[in-house]
Amino acid sequence: MMINYSLILAKNQYLETERLHLRPVTLADAEDMFDYASDGETATYVFPVHYKLADTEAAIASYFIKEPLGKYGIELKENGKMIGSIDLRVDEVNRVAEIGYTLNKAYWGQGIVAEAGKVLVQLGFEKLNLVRIFAKYDIDNPNSGKVMDKLGMKEEGVQPNARINKGKIVTDVIKGMTSRDWEEMNK
């Protein structure tokens, strides 16, 4: 069965949950993104801190606008503020995808990323016909792992010295779920 991943993602650029709109990130989001991208605590495990709005605009253009499919701004329905981003990076050859996310720390602990992630997991298994979805986090950032737990992911392994982030050697924890896990959860 041939799956046109780009077409499916293009048809699903706008997703909705109870509290959120997931949608493409545009340059109009630069100020909202700068709110959290300029915060060292929020950016610690994800990307270099943005020191000026131009840093954020450049990141939006090169990451979100250049190849927008599977990448979403997390917008609050109540006020239209873009408070984070989440993406589903699909490996078409192996029919797997990695989820990555970041959220303005003012909104941590409210289940927002798990709410957004559930929609992407559903998209991945039900429309993209993926066989596995996974995520990884720096072992020093266990709260990220809690989001993965809420999505139904299970620990698959630990990668010591997996990468260097901002000059620090990082051990990654990998969590994931298979299409069979998804079916079991949704019986």
DSSP-assigned beta bridge partners for residue 89:
98
**Token pair recorded at residue 46:** 């994800």
Return the minimum-mean-pLDDT range out of 65-74, 127-136, 164-173: 164-173
Give the pairing type, strands 154-165 and 71-76.
Answer: unpaired
Averaged confidence pLDDT in the chain: 92
pLDDT of residue 45: 60
Give the predicted TM-score (pTM) of the model.
0.93
Helix (H, G, I), strand (E, B) or coil at 52: coil
For 134-161, the pLDDT digits (tens) are 999 989 888 889 999 999 999 999 999 9
In 3D space, the residue among 107, 111, 101, 28 whose CA is nearest the CA of residue 71 turns out to be 101
pLDDT of residue 77: 97
Average pLDDT over residues 53-62: 93
pLDDT of residue 101: 93
pLDDT of residue 173: 94
pLDDT of residue 164: 87
For 61-82, the pLDDT digits (tens) are 999 999 999 999 999 999 999 9
Average pLDDT over residues 121-145: 93
The Cα 125–Cα 132 span in angstroms is: 8
For 102-120, the pLDDT digits (tens) are 999 999 999 999 999 999 9
pLDDT of residue 1: 61
Please indicate whether residue 166 or residue 57 has the higher confidence score (pLDDT): 57
Residue with tokens 């798990």: 114
pLDDT of residue 42: 73
Average pLDDT over residues 35-59: 81
Helix (H, G, I), strand (E, B) or coil at 40: helix
Residue with tokens 């927008």: 68
